[in-house]
Structure 1
Amino acid sequence: MWTKTSCLSAAILLAAGGAQMAHADAQLLKKTCGSCHSETDNQLSRISGQRKSPEGWMMTIVRMQHQHGLQVSVEDRRAIVQFLADTQGLAPAEAAPFRYALEKDPNHVETFEEPMASMCARCHTGARVGLQRRTADEWLIHMDFHVGNYPTIEYQALGRDREWYKIAREEIAPYLAAAYPLETSEWDSWQEAEKVPVAGDWIVITELPGVGEAYGRLSVSGDASPYQVAGTLMSADGQGRSVSGTMNLYTGYEWRATLDIDGQDYRQVLAVSEDGTTLAGRQFQRDHDSLGGSLRGVRADQPGVMLGTVPSAVPAGSATVQVVGSGLDGLSASNGSASANTYGAAVALETEGNGFVTLSTDAGEAKVAYYTTIDGIAVDPAFTIARIGGGSEVGPEAVPAHFRAIGLWNGPDGAPGTEDDVRIGRVNAEWTVTNLHEHAAKMEDAGYAGQIDDTGIFTPAVAGPNAERPFSTNNAGELTVVADAMGQSGSATLIVTVQRFIDPPIR
């Protein structure tokens, strides 16, 4: 358990060792980059005028390798990314609006105002811009970089409808310099803030593709990156899955873990709260980042914190619900009996009909639904894309999509499909795909684009021309995904599109 005294002692030790490491990494940066970037007042040109996320710095270094012949070992590259992210990163508040891009959330739909939407977010996410901070001069140079690196930018289909370069320099660069400046109060405050050591035990709630809702306990050990991570994740049926791997902590809060979970490789892209007590982000399969789910965590020594329940809703009758959290020794339930355990507390229920069980601690309340009937189903996400793939040694693999069925009750107005509908939680469903519209039916998209399994995972078909289809077109298609459960049905839209051949860490 981390006490204030132990945190302070650890912080002092880390500060002493960290100063030596920081000096060594600063020298490594100069040695690696100084032959091209001139040094003035102990600062390297171009580099000193920017701040980025860990992924942003990694992309920059890899570009230097590919386009300018930079020679750097994997170990040194990691050390430089660590140093730059720690000293020229983003404050938690600066990164927060754009975390969906770092977490590779496949279902987030961006909205940016003009002219940035057309000038920047046509070719890459707007988040890629928002995850940088630069001086006004650097933003101007960045406009020139685009023309130099992509000389046809004003003649491409998405650029020739405007004077791209003129607008970029006269409108976009000044806008970005004001919206995303190098010097900010958020970064100054974060640099001065005391960083809480990340080592210790964390209680987490998440989901595993093909398995469902899950919870567990992760133990982090070590004094600096890479930390060691070990633990267990439990599914709703009580089956445990071992977790092991490593985690790098950047900028004092950016958690990046590579884990083996029961033989499957996973990545975690999480943010530690500024007070060091909670975690939030996304966990996904390393080879298929579209397959994953949100992850939230809390330090195991925090009092009275409830993250959620597994399952999120239960059929009426006899059931055991795991209340996931920390410090739940005093948990009480409006129905059934609660007993604390290593993941929070288990509650044994005996229920009838439809309703909620209220869970209470001194720190607050939460509810879990029980049901005999439902009034409807919402399919999450309501809209997403998948990508055909495979079929060759060089092409990208298929990108699957993951759907969940959420049970609904009509709200106080008694009408379905209105704002007061109550989402009760995950329900088991039967999954099918149909053609989205008349043209999709004519092209037989549902027969060619891919298949969905009984866990809601859609696997797209192989890429490439298909002689069985009109015009020998590929296996892309437009589909309706249908979930049926307990006499109710819900649907979502799925676009199965072509491959993504260039897939950088920040899209």
Structure 2
Amino acid sequence: MIERLRKGHAAGLAGLLLLTPIPGLAQDGATLLEENCAGCHAPGENGALSRIAGQRKSPEGWLMTIVRMRLFHGMEIDNDVQSQLVHYLADTQGLAPSETEGYRYILEREPAVVEEIDAPLGEMCSRCHSGARVALQRRTQDEWDLHIDFHVGQWPTLEYQALGRDREWLKIAREEVVPMLAEKYPFETEAWSTWQSAEKSDANGTWVFTTRLPSKGEAYGTLEVSGETQPYTVAGTLKTANGDEFAVSGKLNVYTGYEWRANIEIGGTTYRQVLAMSEDGSTVSGRQFLHAEDSLGAAFKAVKAGDGPAIAGVVPSTLAAGEATTVQIVGTDLSSIDLSGAVVASGGTANAYGAAIELSPDAGTDGTVSIAAGDASDKDGLAVYSHIDSLKVEPEFGVARVGGGGGSAGKVPARFDAVGYWNGPDGQAGTEDDVRIGIIPATWSVAAFNEEAEVLKDVEHAGEMDTSLGIFMPAVAGPNPERPFSTNNAGNLKVVATNGDVSGEGQLIVTVQRWNDPPIR
């Protein structure tokens, strides 16, 4: 098992081990903690185990800690017990919802976030891992200080690495960074105390959702969550914008009263959901991605039935003017729907996903549509366009990784969207008053980003772009004898999206494998 953990895909590792069944909780969490951890972690005067008692983390954070104990310290623990411990620690020493805000992208494995971490944390911490990984922990000042010792002991060469050897690394860490971390990310907070005493919402019930599938575009559906013990059972239906329908099934665990982690199958393909329930339990949002490849995913939002009118979104969310069409207003308790904006509604029918509305956008129409149902609203939830003034590629900077070729790391593709804009009141593209239309169809291609990429023939060797989906699949890893010095298939590419006579550009770096890919990067 240890060897399998070493070689496994990190997202798969988190997905697997965070969903291991909890067989009846035969023992309480405190007992399991004592039995499995007290052999190395001595109890203090209050009986709490050293090191463990002074930390709070996300479910993934606690999972990484336990797996590290297994890999480097020979800890022997069954997966079901490990799952119970992760639950117990996340529930009793986790993070409040407000404490994860602004950093959830790292839990959701969002592939296109570029962090900007100020000094000294940028040099001290983010030269090896994300700044979000630091921000998703809470420790006492003593624990932050011991955390420095841990780094020196675990990675003794770090003082000789770039951004370490040119300064008094250890002195700065102890005298500047530890006090800063203790103040910025303290163990005891009002947010956590309040959340511990708050009544937690139940995930069981019917949820109506919107999302996007990598190869099928916008989609919506229902999830029925049921069960008395975790993991809960998830079942439902997903429909794409073009009418394809797929069965949905899977398992769900909820940590800390709001951290939603599910593995689900949609039409035979397994997806991973890393979501957060709102504090009142009426909505859940985050990111859903392919379990086998976390770079291919999209935002996911769901509203819960039974809590009054609620709107999750509109599918499709962008609509070319000039043709009568039907859009799905995705939500619950939508007995009365009001539309205002660039369309005329000619009828509608309630269904299990909300309501299907027949629209007549006039040719030449440009504008947004706001939707309201009781107290629920989705301002500018639908855009109708007859023309596009400018086009942007999102993300504007992406990364793909070569892989395969007999190695343990597979290819990591990159996915792009074409987003249309109107110029806005000033009539100029690329200014602050531009109006976002939304994701629109485009034809995709790649070109050499600069002269060096042209000389090295990066377009020829780095991989292939799907011309309709905007998904770039990198080439195989390993030496390529057709390139200078038999270098690998890395590249620096320009990503081009075109719709009619309007185009937009982004950048794609095709680079080497990521060999160490933990649940929190």
**1:117-144 per-position Cα deviation (integer Å, ceiling 9, x unaligned):** 1100110001111111111111110000
Query: How many angstroms does 1:294 deviate by?
Result: 0.8
The answer for the alignment partner of 1:498 in structure 2 is: 512
Aligned to 2:230, what secondary structure does the other structure show? Answer: coil
Matched to 1:37, the amino acid is H
Q: Which amino acid aligns with 2:229?
A: A
Q: Which runs of 4+ in 1 moved over 6 A?
A: none
Matched, 1:354 2:365: yes
Work out whether 1:300 is the aligned partner of 2:311. no
Aligned to 2:449: 436
Q: 2-side partners of 1:97 and 1:470: how far apart?
A: 43
Task: Describe the SS at the equivalent of 2:148.
Answer: helix
Q: Which residue of 2 aligns with 1:32?
A: 36
Aligned to 1:85: 90
- CA deviations 1:139-174 (Å, max 9, x no partner) are 110000000000111012342111211111111111
Quick one: distance in 2 between partners of 1:255 and 1:373? 40
User: How far is the alpha carbon of 1:365 from its aligned partner?
Assistant: 5.0
Cα distance in 1 for residues equivalent to 2:351 and 2:338 = 14
Aligned to 2:336: 330
Structure 2 residue 48 is matched with structure 1 residue 43 = yes
Mapping 1:6-405, distance limit 5 Å: 24-40=28-44, 41-316=46-321, 317-334=323-340, 335-336=344-345, 337-352=347-362, 353-355=364-366, 356-363=368-375, 364-367=377-380, 368-392=382-406, 394-405=407-418
More moved, 324-333 vs 193-202: 324-333
**Bigger Cα displacement from structure 2, 356-365 vs 479-488:** 356-365
Unaligned residue ranges in structure 1 (runs of 5+): 1-17
Q: Which amino acid aligns with 1:39?
A: P
Aligned-residue offset at 1:275: 0.7
Task: Report the CA distance between 1:346 and its aligned residue.
Answer: 1.1
Which residue does 2:8 correspond to in 1? none
Letter matched to residue 448 of structure 2: N
Report the 3-state secondary structure (helix = DSSP H, G, I; strand = E; otherwise coil) of the residue aligned with 1:107. Answer: coil
1:472-499 per-residue CA deviation (whole Å, 9 max, x = no partner) reads: 1111111111111122111111111111
> Quick check: 1:103–1:282 contact (8 Å CA) kept in 2?
yes
* Alpha-carbon distance in structure 2 between the residues aligned to 1:131 and 1:107: 19
Whole-angstrom distance in 2 between the partners of 1:287 and 1:158: 35
Q: Which moved more, 1:362-371 or 1:418-427?
A: 362-371
Per-residue CA deviations over 1:282-317 (Å, capped at 9, x if unaligned) read 000111100001111110223232222111111121
Q: Deviation per CA, 1:29-58, whole angstroms, max 9, x where unpaired?
A: 110111111123231111111111000000
Q: Partners of 1:404 and 1:97 in 2: how far apart? A: 23
Q: Is the 8 A contact 1:333 1:347 kept in 2?
A: no
Taking the aligned partners of 1:358 and 1:110, their CA distance within structure 2 comes to 33
**SS of match in other structure, 1:44:** coil
Q: Secondary structure at the match of 1:291?
A: strand
Contact 1:22-1:83 at 8 Å conserved across structures: no
Conserved? CA contact 2:313–2:378, under 8 Å: no
Alpha-carbon distance between aligned partners in 2 of 1:357 and 1:192, rounded to the nearest angstrom: 41
Contiguous gaps of at least 5 residues in structure 2: 1-21
Using structure 2 for the length normalisation, give the TM-score.
Answer: 0.91
Describe the superposition over 1:356-388 as per-residue Cα deviations: whole angstroms up to 9, x where unpaired: 344232323533222222222111111111111
- 1:467, 1:390 → 2: CA distance? 17
Q: TM-score, structure 1 length as denominator?
A: 0.94
The answer for the alignment partner of 1:426 in structure 2 is 439
Aligned-residue CA RMSD (Å): 1.5
User: Which deviates the most, 409-418 or 227-236?
Assistant: 409-418
Asked if the contact 1:354/1:369 (under 8 Å) is kept, the reply is no
State which drifts further: 194-203 or 419-428: 419-428
Q: Which moved more, 1:356-365 or 1:38-47?
A: 356-365
For 1:254 and 1:370, the matched residues in 2 are separated by 36
User: Are 2:238 and 2:247, in contact at CA under 8 Å, matched by a contact in 1?
Assistant: yes
Cα distance between partner residues in 1 of 2:171 and 2:27: 42
CA 194–125 in structure 1, closer or farther in 2 if over 3 Å, else same: same
Select the residue among 436, 440, 447 that pairs with 2:460. Answer: 447
1:422 Cα offset (Å): 1.4
Query: C-alpha separation between the residues in 2 aligned to 1:49 and 1:22?
Result: 26
User: Among the aligned pairs, what percent are the same residue?
Assistant: 53
What does residue range 484-495 of structure 1 map to in structure 2 within 5 Å?
484-495=498-509
CA deviations 1:371-419 (Å, max 9, x no partner) are 2222221111111111111111x33111111111112212111112222
* CA distance in 1: counterparts of 2:189 and 2:469, whole angstroms: 46
Q: Equivalents in 2 of 1:269, 1:475: separation in Å?
A: 32
Cα contact 1:49–1:134 (8 A) shared by 2: yes
* 1:407 pairs with one of 420, 424, 427: 420
Judge conservation of contact 2:401–2:510 (CA < 8 Å) in 1.
yes
Maintained 8 Å contact 1:435/1:446: yes
Secondary structure of the corresponding residue to residue 53 of structure 2: helix
Equivalent residue letter for 1:489: S
Alpha-carbon distance in 1 for matches of 2:48, 2:32: 13
Query: What is the alpha-carbon distance in structure 1 between the residues aligned to residue 25 and residue 403 of structure 2?
Result: 44
DSSP 3-state at the match of 2:357 = strand
